[in-house]
Amino acid sequence: MQMRAARMHGYNQPLKIEDVPVPDIGPDDVLVKVAATGMCRSDCQLMEGYFTHGAPLTAPITPGHEVAGRIAALGADVADGLAEGDLVVVNPNWGDGTCRQCREGNEQICGNGQMAGFGPPGGFAEYMPVPYRHVIAVPDGVDTRPETLAPLTDAGLTPYRGMKKLRQAGKLGAGRTVVVNGIGGLGSYGVQYARLLGGGATVVAFARSDEKLSLAMENGAHHTVNTRGKTAEEVQDALEDLTGRRDADAILDCAGAEDGLALGAAVLAREGALTCVGLMGQKVVLPLLPFTNGEKSYFGSFWGNYDDLGEVLALASQGLIKHTVVPVALDDINGKLEALARGDVVGRAVVVFD
C-alpha cells in the first residue's frame, strides 16, 4: 500500500512530494492515519540545517511533529484500551524511558530521546507510526477538527510549559506585568496562557507586525507594543504609557531571536524572570550586573511533557483556547514553508489531509 509524503532529501532543498510505502509498525506501535499536521518554524530550521549538531540526521526524512489523526492499525502488544478509529493527538517527544529526566516525566529533554519528524517519520505524510504510549485519545468536549487539534501538541503546548515556569517562579499575579514577545504560532497561544495562568497580571504583547498584534488583542492581551525599529528605551516609554511602569516582571519569549532576548533583558524588572521557548537565534547574551544585583532569572523551556499536553487538552475541552489556523494542502507545503520562514504567517499553518 502506498501513501503520499513530503520528504526532505537534503539541507536547503524543498521537500519532495512522493509516493512511498505505508510504514510498517512494531508490536508496541499504532499506525495513525494523519488528518492534520501543524507547520512549525523548526521545520524550516530542520531543512536549513539548524539542528545539525544537536540532532544529526540521515535523509530521507519526513518532517512534521504536530499531528492529529485516527488510529488505522494496532501493534500486537498495544494496551491502554486504544482501538482502530480512535481520534488521537501525538505526543511527539519519545524518551529512552530510563534516564532521570524520563523517570521524572520529562521525556522531551531526554538526552537519548527521539522527536517525531526529526528522524522518526513525521506527519507530512498520510500515515505515521507512533509508539502507542505516545498517542492521547482526544477527550470529550474538545473541538474535534484535526486542524485545531494538531497545533496543540507544540504551538499550544510549548508556551504553556513556559508560562507555567513563570507562575511556579512566583512572577505572575495581580499588580504584575507579563510580556509575551513574538506573536507567531506559539505567541498567539502564549497570550492566552498569560491570561489563564497569570492570576490577574497585566498582559502586554510585543511583536513587529500590527497584524500579529491585532491577533494578540483578540486572544487576550491587554496592551500591545510594535517593537519594529524601536530602541529599548522607546519600548520602555511605550510600556510606561500603557501600564504606568517601564519594566515587566515576567517575559515569555516565543521567538528566541537574539535582538528580542536582548530587549527582554533590558525591560525586565528587578527579581523578574525571562523564559525563552523560541529557537530562532543561536545564543543568549544577558547583562551580568543587572541580572546579578537585580536577582533576575533566565529559564530555558523546551516543548512540554505528556502531562503538560494533557492539561492543554483539558483547557481546550473547557473551551478556553482559541485557534487561528491557516489550512494548507500537501501540494502547497513548500510555498507555505517559505512564507513561514519569512514570518508572513499569522497564526498556525496546518497541512490538512481530510
Q: How confident is the model at residue 50 (pLDDT cuts 50, 70, 90)?
A: confident
CA-to-CA distance for 106 and 164, rounded, in angstroms?
14
| Residue 37 reports pLDDT greater than 70 | yes
52-66, 81-95, 148-162: segment of lowest average pLDDT:
52-66
pLDDT tens-digit map of 125-136 = 999 999 999 999
Asked whether residue 280 falls in the same domain as residue 344, the answer is no
Can you read off the three cell numbers belonging to residue 44? 524550516
| Residue 280 reports pLDDT greater than 90 | no
Q: How many structural domains comprise the chain?
A: 2
Asked whether residue 209 falls in the same domain as residue 271, the answer is yes
- The CATH number assigned to the domain holding 83 equals 3.90.180.10
Asked whether residue 254 falls in the same domain as residue 323, the answer is no
Instruction: For the beta carbon of residue 33, count every other beta carbon within 10 angstroms.
Output: 18
Helix (H, G, I), strand (E, B) or coil at 125: strand
pLDDT tens-digit map of 284-315 = 999 999 999 999 999 999 999 999 999 999 99
Cis preceding linkage at 60, omega within 30 = yes
CA-to-CA distance for 116 and 83, rounded, in angstroms?
21
Asked whether residue 208 falls in the same domain as residue 265, the answer is yes
Can you read off the three cell numbers belonging to residue 297? 532569572
Asked whether residue 108 falls in the same domain as residue 11, the answer is yes
Asked whether residue 213 falls in the same domain as residue 288, the answer is yes
Asked whether residue 325 falls in the same domain as residue 291, the answer is no
Asked whether residue 136 falls in the same domain as residue 249, the answer is no
Structural domain that includes position 230: 158-300
Of 119, 117, 142, 135, the closest CA to residue 31 belongs to: 135
Can you read off the three cell numbers belonging to residue 209? 507586525
Asked whether residue 11 falls in the same domain as residue 57, the answer is yes
Asked whether residue 234 falls in the same domain as residue 336, the answer is no
Place of cell 494578540: 216
Place of cell 483547557: 315
